[in-house]
Amino acid sequence: MRSDRLLATLLLLQAHGRLPAPEIARRLEVSTRTVARDVEALSAAGVPVYAERGRRGGVVLMPGFRTDVSGLTDTEMRALLALTDQEGDLGRELASAVRKLLAAVPEARRPGIARARRTVIVEQHGWRRPVHEGPALAVLERAVAADERVRLRYRSASSGTTATSTVDPYGLVSKAGVWYLVAARRGVPRMFRVDRVVDAEATGAPARRPDDRPLEQVWTELRDRLEAAPDPVVVQVRVDPAWRDRLLRVVVGQLVEEPRGDGDRLDLAFRAPGAAVGALLGFGAAVEVLGPPEVRAEMASRAAGVVALYGASR
């Protein structure tokens, strides 16, 4: 992205005063021709920067000029480094931008930055949980940046069916490694898990949101509403070891805590008893519900109904 590169160039010159164009190109991972174009762009924007020819020449920032961007503190640099551990295309773009910005940090402070990069890792997703990005994320990011309406083909979590909707985005949110699109559908703000977006297409029409509230406010409202829902039902199960891995692939999102070793007992959290029965009944005798009693009783009742149905059809 050119804007972060221009800022990085300006910060480099602010820190050093004068730098050869090849050195700027090396630090920002671009060509010297790109550096020359960026210097022209900065000059056209009113920044007192110019190129000097000759043996001791280079790109020069007029002495005394300071940008409105103050030097990064050590804490700010560590925070930026942590952000670069995001997954996927957006994470790679962010990492590239941060590298260019950090290239402007004075030499004396670089050992501390290098140490932070070696000793701090921020991983956004949990154990046994795949990265939830989805193929539509790049399309949605571009549509959000352009403030355009989006046509989604979205897969329902409960039924597995897909439906097409036209939505007006507020923005994108990454929470615990899962990306969400916050958008208005028929004038009502909603959140859509990006990994359930089967297909996305920017319409080219401007987004028409029902209000001018910022993304943070809308997201907070949706998040708080979800977290205020009734507490989940925690179901204790015993699983046949031969079926354990298969069960974990299905219920990984319901694990209360990470399983220890090859144990045959797991605690799973579901929205309601019916959701637990629907997810577990298909495993038959390979999975036994140990509690709570109401879920165990519902499993028995539902299983008896299945036996009666198919037994009567013989």
Spans of all domains in the chain: 2-61, 69-118, 135-227, 233-311
What residues are paired with 60 via a beta bridge? 18, 50
- As a whole number of angstroms, the distance between CA 76 and CA 202 comes to 35
Whether the link from the prior residue into 273 is cis, omega within 30° of 0, is no
Whole-angstrom distance, CA of residue 89 vs CA of residue 45? 30
pLDDT of residue 117: 63
pLDDT of residue 106: 65
Look at residue 109 in the predicted model and tell me its pLDDT.
66
Query: Strand locations in 15-57, DSSP E?
Result: 18-19, 49-52
For the chain, the straight-line distance linking the first and the last C-alpha, in angstroms and rounded, comes to 67
Q: Residue 266: which of 294, 287, 242, 297 has the closest Cα?
A: 287
Integer-rounded Cα radius of gyration of the chain: 27
Beta bridge partners of 192: 181
Q: Which residue has the tokens 């030499």?
A: 107
Question: Which segments of the chain have a pLDDT < 50?
Answer: 68-70
pLDDT of residue 74: 65
Cα distances from 10 to residues 69, 81, 99, in angstroms, run 10, 20, 14
Q: Residue 260 in 3-state DSSP? A: coil
Phi, psi of 261 (to 5 degrees): 55, -140
Q: What are phi and psi of 157, to 5 degrees?
A: -70, -35
User: What pLDDT does 70 receive?
Assistant: 47
135-227 CATH choice from 2.40.50, 2.30.30, 2.60.120, 2.60.40:
2.30.30
Q: Per CATH, the architecture of 2-61 is what?
A: Orthogonal Bundle (1.10)
Determine the pLDDT at residue 68.
46
46 CB-side CA count, 13 A: 2
pLDDT at position 257, please? 76
